[in-house]
Amino acid sequence: MVEPVNLAEKFALIDEYWSPRIAGEINDFHVKLVKLKGEFVWHHHEQEDELFLVVRGTLCIQLRDRDLWLREGEFAVIPRGVEHRPVASEEVHVLLLEPDTTVNTGNVQDEHTRPAQWI
């Protein structure tokens, strides 16, 4: 059954930072919602590209050679193999579009590694 997804309602259900929630799927991709605050771990994804769309706030994605700043309504695609670290000084709401095989910490396994759950 096809139903609209209200992003504000879904984000209101998320009470933990850096813990992606699956809000939909398309082909072999997940549409994930995540709240970010603070610094994440440096990592990369061997096989997957990631799309970061900022719904609310401002996100810095640190790359090894520069910082990429995304404001509300902006997105960037981080290609597979590119080492990056998301950083949010204030709470940021982000929509991720990525293959369903994507682990949030990529090549790193640490306390930030979380399996995505459906909301």
Distance CA 119, CA 108 (A): 25
Handedness of CA 13, 16, 72, 70 (dihedral sign): negative
Q: Which CATH class is domain 7-118?
A: mainly beta
Tell me which DSSP letter residue 105 carries: T
AA letter at 100: D
The 3-state DSSP class for residue 57 equals coil
Distance CA 37, CA 23 (A): 20
Digitized pLDDT (tens) for each residue of the chain, 119 residues in all: 789 999 999 999 999 999 999 999 999 999 999 999 999 989 999 999 999 999 999 999 999 999 999 999 999 999 999 999 999 999 999 999 998 888 776 676 777 777 788 99
| Residue boundaries of the structural domains of the chain | 7-118
pLDDT at 107: 77
pTM: 0.91
